[in-house]
Amino acid sequence: MALASIRPAAVAGQFYPHDERVLRTQLAELLTTAVALEAAPSPKAIIVPHAGYIYSGPVAASAYAQLAALRQRIRRVVMLGPTHRVAVRGFALPAAQAFATPLGEVPLSRPDWLALQARDDVVVDDRPHALEHCLEVQLPFLQVCLERFEIVPVLVGDVSMQATASLIESLWGGPETLILISSDLSHYLGYREAQWSDRAAVEQMLELRAGLDHEQACGATPVNGLLIAARQHHLQAHLLDLRNSGDTAGDRAQVVGYTSIAFCEAEPQSHARH
């Protein structure tokens, strides 16, 4: 496959608008109306949901709105999410060197793409990425919130949370790097049961306690990896939003849970919230 190959948008027109102007309008509306539950200054990492924008867009926007002050600083986004369609042992990198959306193309960080291949648990394979939505739906948000950036798109398959933490650690970088974990919470529970399950999962994330299972979050493995790394780096978790599809799109018989959480450097003691 040519090194300049581009992974085309697979879910434009399904999960988010295919038309650039309609997409920009929807993103602007989501971002301007987003209200976070608490402030999260300069997040180093975020957990965001990955459903269609009508379902999880408002929740995701609460995290992306926090990036406004970092628009010029963030140059590299490390993206991890679960595989929904193709089974993967370990981690999957695409062979493609750019991802396309209706807003344009986003290049991969080639040095990271090359370096990751030294790991025994990383495969280069376009197939898991071809129809996968969990990373793609984040790109339009990033394209409007950041100025110029490269991505490290990693799909997480059958692998331990310790190995995932190790991979995240190897890509941690400095202030120019944002770690992004794409995950929804519970799937197809009743509204009240989902609220209970999702609140328990989120409390565990806020305490940086790894060990979530895939009933609690479809992206449990990358989430757990981030929680281990965040604890090592003494980050503080901030809950930005917690809702489900029954809150955003109506039907409450079977819902999917969504949260946005930001992980930030600890605030100076003088600014601690009492």
**Residue range 146-168, pLDDT digits in tens:** 999 999 999 999 999 999 999 99
71 occurs within a structural domain: yes
116 occurs within a structural domain: no
**pLDDT score, position 1:** 41
- Domain count for the chain, please give it: 1
- Give the count of beta carbons closer than 10 Å to the beta carbon of residue 88: 18
The low-confidence residues of the chain, meaning pLDDT below 70, are 1-4, 267-274
Distances (CA, A) of 76 to 31, 142, 208: 21, 11, 24
Domain with 251 in it: 32-104+162-174+186-209+225-266
**pLDDT score, position 271:** 47
**pLDDT score, position 269:** 53
254 occurs within a structural domain: yes
57 occurs within a structural domain: yes
Dihedral sign of CA atoms 54, 55, 56, 62 in order: positive
**pLDDT score, position 8:** 97
The span from the CA of 106 to the CA of 98, in Å, is 5
What tokens appear for 33 in the block? 């109306």
- CA angle 237/242/244 to nearest 5° reads 150
**pLDDT score, position 195:** 98
128 occurs within a structural domain: no
**pLDDT score, position 39:** 86
274 occurs within a structural domain: no
12 occurs within a structural domain: no
92 occurs within a structural domain: yes
